[in-house]
A = this chain, B = another copy of it.
Amino acid sequence: MSDSSQVILLAHGSSDKRWCETFEKLAEPTLQSVENSAIAYMELAEPSLDSVIADGKHRGVERFTIVPLFLAAGRHLRKDVPAMIDELEQQHQVHIRLADPIGMNPRLGDAIRDVVLEELS
Task: Give residues in A with beta carbon < 8 Å to B.
Answer: 1, 7, 9, 11, 14, 16, 18-19, 22-23, 25-30, 32-34, 37, 65, 67, 69-74, 99, 101-120
Q: Is the CB of A117 within 8 A of B34?
A: yes
B33 in contact with A117 (CB, 8 Å): yes
Closest CB-CB distance, A15 to chain B, in whole Å?
10
* Copies of this chain per assembly: 2
- A112 to B16, alpha carbons, bound, how many Å? 22
In this complex, what residue of B is CB-closest to A31? B113
Task: Known A-B contacts: A14-B72, A69-B71. Give 6 more (CB < 8 A).
Answer: A9-B112, A19-B74, A37-B116, A67-B116, A67-B119, A71-B71
Q: Across the interface, do A16 and B74 meet the contact criterion of CB distance under 8 Å?
A: yes
Interchain CA distance A18-B28 in the complex, whole Å: 29
